[in-house]
Amino acid sequence: MVFNVSEWLNLLTRWIHVFSAILWVGSTYYFTWLDGQMRRGADRPVWMVHSGGFYTVVKQQTLGVPPHEVHWFRYEALATFISGFILLNLVYYHGGLMIDPIDPKVTAIQAGMIGMATLVVGWMGYDLLVRTPLVRNEPLFAAVGFLLVVVTAVLLSRLLSTRATYMHIGALFGTIMMLNVWMRILPPQRRMIAAAARGDRFDETLAAGAKQRSKHNTFLAIPTTFIMISSHFPTATYGNHYAVAVLGALILIGWGAAAVLRRA
C-alpha cells in the first residue's frame, strides 16, 4: 500500500471545505427563510417541527440574556475560506493548473500573483461599490456587478487557463462572502449586542447594513457552488469554446435560483 501524502491532504482539505460550506450556506439560507416568514407574518412566532420536537422562534427587539449567551454563526465561513484557500494552493498554484500548458501566456509564478490580485482587488471593488448610492437600486447594482465579473473573467481567460479562470471567479465570490461576514456583518452585530447589553438603543443602520451584506451572500452562494463543481464537467463548462459565456450564464442562473429561494 502506497501512502500518498499529497492526495490525502487534498482529500481531507476538500472534505473540510465541503462540509463547512454546507454548514455555512445552510445557516445562511435558514435565517433568510426565517426572516421571510416573519416579514410575511408581521413578526409573529415561527413554529417548526424537527427530530421529534416542536420549536418556536420569536424575533426580539431587545437583548434578554447576557451577551455571552448569544449564539453566533461565524466560524463556518472562516473554515470554508481557509480550507478553500488551501485547496486553491494545492490544486492550482502548486498543481500546475494555472496556465495553459500548450500556449502559456505568463509564468506559473506570475499566474499565481494574478490570481491573488484578483481576490484582493475584487473584494476592494465590491466593497467600494456597495458604499455607493448604486446599491439602493438593486437591479442596476446587480447589472453593474455582473458586467464587472464578466470583464474580469474575460481578462483572466487571456492570461490563465480557463479552468483557473472559473475557479478564481468562484474563489472571488467566496472571498467576498467570507469578508462580508467577518468585516461587514460581525462588527455591527458586536456593536448592537454591546448597546443592547447597556440598555441603549442601537443604530438601526447597523442592522440594515449587515442584513444587506447577508443578502448579497445568499445570491453569491449558489453560483459559487456551480463554479466549484464545474471542474468535473469540462466539456460543458471551462473546456467549452464559449467558456466565459457559459460562466456568465451559470452566474445568472444561480442568481435567479437564489431569488426564488429567498421568496420561498
Query: DSSP letters of 195-259?
Result: HHHHTPPPPHHHHHHHHHHHHHHHHHHHHHHHHHHGGG-TTTTTTSTTHHHHHHHHHHHHHHHHH
Neighbours of 257 (CB within 10 A): 16
Rounded to a whole number of angstroms, the CA Rg of the chain reads 20
Coil, strand or helix at 104: coil
Set of cell numbers at residue 38: 416573519
In 3D space, the residue among 255, 126, 120 whose CA is nearest the CA of residue 180 turns out to be: 126
Q: In which residue ranges of the chain is pLDDT below 50?
A: none
Q: For helices 75-87 and 162-179, what crossing angle results, to 10°?
A: 160
Summarised one tens digit per residue, pLDDT across range 115-151 is: 999 999 999 999 999 999 999 999 999 999 999 999 9
Please answer whether residues 27 and 73 qualify as being in contact, where contact means their C-beta atoms are separated by less than 8 angstroms: yes
Predicted pLDDT of residue 2:
60
CA 184 to chain centre: 13
Predicted pLDDT of residue 127:
97
Task: Report the amino acid identity of residue 179.
Answer: L
Predicted pLDDT of residue 3:
63
pTM above 0.85, yes or no: yes
Predicted pLDDT of residue 251:
97
CA distance readout (Å), 46 to 43, 59, 73, 105, 173 = 8, 9, 20, 56, 31
Cell 456568465 belongs to 248
CA 94 to chain centre: 24
Please answer whether residues 227 and 167 qualify as being in contact, where contact means their C-beta atoms are separated by less than 8 angstroms: yes
pLDDT mean across residues, the chain: 92
Please answer whether residues 134 and 188 qualify as being in contact, where contact means their C-beta atoms are separated by less than 8 angstroms: no
Summarised one tens digit per residue, pLDDT across range 200-222 is: 877 777 778 888 999 999 999 99
Task: Report the amino acid identity of residue 44.
Answer: R
